[in-house]
Structure 1
Amino acid sequence: SIDQARAAALAVQPGQIVAEELEAEKGGSGLRYSFDIKASAQTHEVGIDAQSGKILENTVEGSHPD
């Protein structure tokens, strides 16, 4: 569920979620939750596989996020 994905994202990257979405993605189960998490002065993008709950991405967004 999105609640479980949200908790997993915050476990790997503590902060405040400023954006979230369910995206179609190649690989994995085909769906992932994407969270933008603000921590200090940086925003991190954390991707969670919608079916397995596996962390797919944990990166710092640049000055031009997509």
Structure 2
Amino acid sequence: MPIIEMHLLEGRSVEKKRKAVAAITAALVESLEVKADTVRILITEHPVEHFAVAGVTVGQRNEVTCP
């Protein structure tokens, strides 16, 4: 039973997450030769202030790049 854990920054639509889940499931069915009903996918969303690179949160970076 494949278990996939995805960490995403919050803000993506339900439609995009559903599309990603379907694509990942299809890829695992093909590549690992498993049944779709055995694939488990966990999505954890993180606020932009809870993820940082080089001491700067994504929220801070967005403030600078999106006036």
- After TM superposition, the score normalised by the length of structure 2 is 0.29
Larger CA Rg, structure 1 vs 2: 2
Higher relative contact order (CA 8 A, sep 6+): 2
- After TM superposition, the score normalised by the length of structure 1 is 0.29
More helix by share: 2
